[in-house]
Chains A and B, each alone.
Chain A
Amino acid sequence: MTQPSFATAVLRVFDMSLGQMLWSKRTVFMALAVGAPVVVALVLRTIDEMGVSVLRVNGVRVDGAVIFGGLFWLLYLRFVVPVLGAFYGTSLMSDEVEDRTITYLFTRPVPRGAVIVGKYLAYLVCTEMVVLPSLTAAYLLITPVGGGSIGATFPLLLTDLGILALGLAVYGAVFALIGALVPHPLVAGLVLIFGWEQVALLVPGYLRRFTIAHYLQALVPHAMPQDDTVAAIQALFTAPPSMTSSVVSLTTIAAVALWLAARTVEKREYILDQ
């Protein structure tokens, strides 16, 4: 039996893993995470259609584009993207280890590295085909609130979609590496998102350069909400990198992390608990 090429092997693993991911228990969590912003948008739009002013700041009515910007920052960028990346990315290999099914994968005539790359691609399709339509639906619902214009702000939606797609790709690759390296990757992933990234962004100096959020947030076209102390401190110390350097940095992080993950899976000996 001849061994298929790396690309063919990746496609086979991708095809097998996509269905598993879409209908796993995690999908319920994902549905809740991406459904919440759409529900919020729907509620705000309904209130607006009833003629009630949705949001006022210093007596001035806030339009839908501004509300959408806040929703993007608080729900999608700071919560949905990193958390989905952690939940799915860390599970790419660890699930197979915990379920003791990794043996079946490794005994197939495919390169080991193709397993994690195929699974990573399945993760990308699975999460992006849920998150991006959710963002689009929230945008269409919320932007016309308070006299906002879809036509005027549409280029921002395309930027937002690109940011989320890139964010999911980078977080997914980094967490895939963590999943391939450490025994309890989800805990490590959550510590990374809610511990390291939050602290490093607040500390003055170069530490923030070792976070994904630093580069991702620099791409966001909406103003960062200044409603809490953390955001205020972050804004005070932040010298955002340029758009080009952010995109290059994020792409590099994703590529290097995925390559390291594939290399780790190739080299590492997985010992299953008896």
Chain B
Amino acid sequence: MIQKSRYFLIAAAAVLILGVGGGLIAYLAYKRAASLPAGIPAEVRYVPADAALVAYADVRAVMSSELRRELVPTIETGSRKGRQMMSDFAGIDVEKQVDHVLAYVDASDAQAPDASQGPRAVMLVQGTFEQARIEQFIRDREGTVENYHGHSISVHQKGQEEMAVGFVRPDLLAVGQASLVRRVLDLSNDTSGKTQDLTGNTELMTLIRDASGSTAWAVGHFDAMSRGMRLPTSVSRQVPPLRLVSAKADVNGGVKATIRADTADQPAAEQLREVVRAFVALARLQGGGKPELESALKSIQLSGTDKTVQMTFALSSQTMRALAPRNREPRSAEPGTPTPR
């Protein structure tokens, strides 16, 4: 083989090896970025990095838990509200069709001036759905079905708000304000990795990693969480400056919950511990006479290091029954029904 041919072949092989090698490096980097630790739902990729609050619930685990079976007669009316909402809006049967739900509150909601309005949030519902049936359901309620960048999105005008159900994948729905649902679909279309999703938010991801594996959890910035909980101003003023809050719960025969707060500095953490201790002492005084609360109050443990304050407690099914809003008493008599004498 002449030298010219040899040089040509070496150059061609170099281009091929460099190209394939570069592609391989990009692929490995992509795979590494795409892989999430076990227990973290893959839907976090569709949540924007600046989300104020992220919450997760393993609906199937809750539905099949012993606790639910025990509590159904007591809290049926209350739990039915959430299910009814999903059913009314998208024709989804939560109990049968949903595996888990990941929800987030948009960061813009944290700066929203009007706290009386509901939060700007999206629920990513993973389960088994019939797309045609959901679309027909929304059409029947004067909604419209559109194609948004290759995804089906069903939009429904609800007063001033535009609500939507978007199919991220056949087994994943985004439900919420239309603009936020479109943002989720944009994130799901972005294969370049240029748009920052929640995995790029190291603070929230650290909390999510810590909470992953639990039946339900919520992590977020305290501002957003306190708005969501509608804490009275008098109470929120008493709370030392908090940055991040997380809560996780393992549900089976009872509930084992952990609440963790990250404060701005160490003195704030100390102050918070004092406040919590005082509340716990007060609760023990108040609930001392109630046997159903006694075990729960005894299980409270306060811990934490540096800027972190952590509280764990366990609620048995009896305690949950005592705390849960009771089912309404059955009506004694319908009009026209003879009353027993």
Contact = CB atoms under 8 A, between A and B. Distances in A.
Interface of A: 15, 18-19, 22-23, 60, 63, 65, 125, 129-130, 132-133, 136-137, 139-140, 144, 147-155, 157-158, 161
Interface stretch (B65-73, B187-195, B206-214): B187-195
B231 interface: no
Q: Dominant SS at the B interface?
A: helix
Contacts of B149: 60
27 contacts: A19-B2, A22-B4, A23-B4, A60-B149, A129-B12, A129-B13, A130-B12, A133-B12, A133-B15, A136-B15, A136-B16, A136-B20, A139-B19, A140-B22, A147-B190, A147-B194, A148-B192, A149-B191, A150-B30, A151-B27, A152-B27, A152-B30, A152-B191, A154-B23, A157-B20, A158-B20, A161-B20
Interface in B23-41: 23-24, 26-31
Nearest to B148: A60
A141 to B, nearest CB: 10
Nearest to B11: A133
B113 interface: no
Given A149-B30, A157-B23, A161-B20, 5 more contacts: A136-B15, A149-B191, A152-B30, A154-B26, A155-B27
B19 A133 contact: yes
Contacts of B12: 129-130, 133
Contacts of B31: 151
B20 A63 contact: no
Nearest to A14: B1
B150 interface: yes
A137 B15 contact: yes
B23 A125 contact: no
A140 B17 CA distance: 13
Contacts of B192: 144, 147-149
A101 B191 CA distance: 56
A136 B22 CA distance: 10
Contacts, number: 78
Contacts of A139: 19, 23
B5 interface: yes
A8 to B, nearest CB: 16
B17 to A, nearest CB: 9
Contacts of A19: 1-2, 4-5
A149 B191 CA distance: 6
Given A23-B4, A63-B191, A150 B23 contact: yes
A60 B150 contact: yes
Given A129-B13, A147-B190, A140 B5 contact: no
B9 interface: yes
Contact of A154 (B1, B9, B16, B24): B24
A140 B190 contact: no
Contacts of A152: 27, 30, 191
* 10 cross-chain pairs, A with B, having the tightest CB-CB distances, nearest first: A151-B30, A136-B19, A154-B27, A133-B15, A129-B12, A151-B26, A149-B191, A150-B26, A154-B23, A19-B5
Nearest to B150: A60
Contacts of A136: 15-16, 19-20, 23
Nearest to A134: B15
A23 B30 contact: no
Contact of A125 (B2, B9, B30, B150): B9
Contacts of A133: 12, 15-16, 19
Contact of B29 (A22, A129, A151): A151
B151 to A, nearest CB: 11
A149 B16 contact: no
Contacts of A63: 191
Contacts of A157: 20, 23
A146 B8 CA distance: 34
B11 to A, nearest CB: 9
A158 B20 CA distance: 8
Nearest to A144: B192
A129 B191 contact: no
Nearest to A65: B191
B169 to A, nearest CB: 16
A42 to B, nearest CB: 14
B193 to A, nearest CB: 6
Contacts of A144: 192
B19 A137 contact: yes
Indicate the member of B4, B27, B29 with the most A CB atoms within 10 Å. Answer: B27
Contacts of A148: 191-192
Indicate the member of A22, A130, A151, A152 with the most B CB atoms within 10 Å. Answer: A151
A147 B191 contact: yes
A147 to B, nearest CB: 4
A238 B14 CA distance: 39
A18 B1 contact: yes
A18 B13 contact: no
Nearest to A20: B5
Nearest to A143: B23
A167 B12 CA distance: 19
Contacts of A137: 15, 19
Contacts of B19: 133, 136-137, 139-140
A144 B193 CA distance: 11
A155 B30 CA distance: 12
B13 A23 contact: no
A65 B23 CA distance: 13
